[in-house]
Amino acid sequence: MVIKGAGGGIGPSIVVCVADAARAADPALAARKNELYAEAIRRHGGDPLLVDAATPPDARRSAFETMAGLLLSGGADLDPARYAGGAGGSEAMERDRDAMEAEAWSAARDRGLPVLGICRGLQAINVFSGGTLLQHVSGHLGGPYGSGSPAVHPLRLVPGTRLARILSPTNVRGGVVSVNSYHHQAVRSQDLAAGLIASGYAASPDGQLVEALESTAGPLVLAVQCHPERRDSTPEAFERLFRVFVDACRGAVGARVPG
């Protein structure tokens, strides 16, 4: 089905790729999770359009052709066949969502649009860019969303990166922020795709994990492994991340207007 966004607003139209809530064990909770991404975009003047794997192809193509930016959200594991991973810990996969998001990513890259990745979105950006994943990491999943206090851990920002300047603009050393943790797969330094750099690290039993990444050149590409749309467990500084992203999308609209 189509998950409708605001549509027709005055801000930049931003496609938000989400899970199909109708497939979830608790569709109402899944829909609420999806709406949190849309709310984050609206707070900063963007016009979100939520698209899932059940969105009809024509509507999907139209959204990708007219979007000013792309947000890839959290959800199920990517199919390891996309990165020659083989069997190694991947669980519930949604191959039709993988295909839909790969199409959205290609459209955004072809048109030079800003992209923001959150949780699965970080992993998708890395895989779509030619990187790989660690299919299971211990100690970072935490409890189900909405069931008690979330798992949290420090995120060490890499000095000089765009993310560090956004989240910790007065600390030239990059700083450390506390983030929530809802993932069981991860990216390590050796998994990073060419053209991407780590902008944040977190410790794990499996070594240092890349829990934030960004592009080295070209249009804005930013991604975080945590869930900043969940404001109850996220530092207020992450609102600047959404603001910078929406502003970049607004700039992308302006760049396409004839002089």
- Active-site residue (options: 17, 119, 226, 249): 119
* Integer angstrom CA distances of residue 139 from 142, 191, 225: 7, 19, 14
Helix axis angle for 27-43 and 239-255, nearest 10°, is 70
Mark whether 214 is an active-site residue. no
Between CA 193 and CA 128 the distance in angstroms is: 9
Mark whether 227 is an active-site residue. yes
- Active-site residue (options: 44, 140, 184, 227): 227
- Active-site residue (options: 35, 44, 229, 249): 229
- Specify the residue for token string 């192809």: 57
Between CA 176 and CA 188 the distance in angstroms is: 19
Contact 211, 148 (CB under 8 A): no
CA-based end-to-end distance of the chain: 39
| Residues in Cβ contact with 62 at an 8 Å cutoff, skipping those fewer than 6 apart | none
DSSP summary character for residue 52: -
- Residues serving a catalytic function are 119, 227, 229
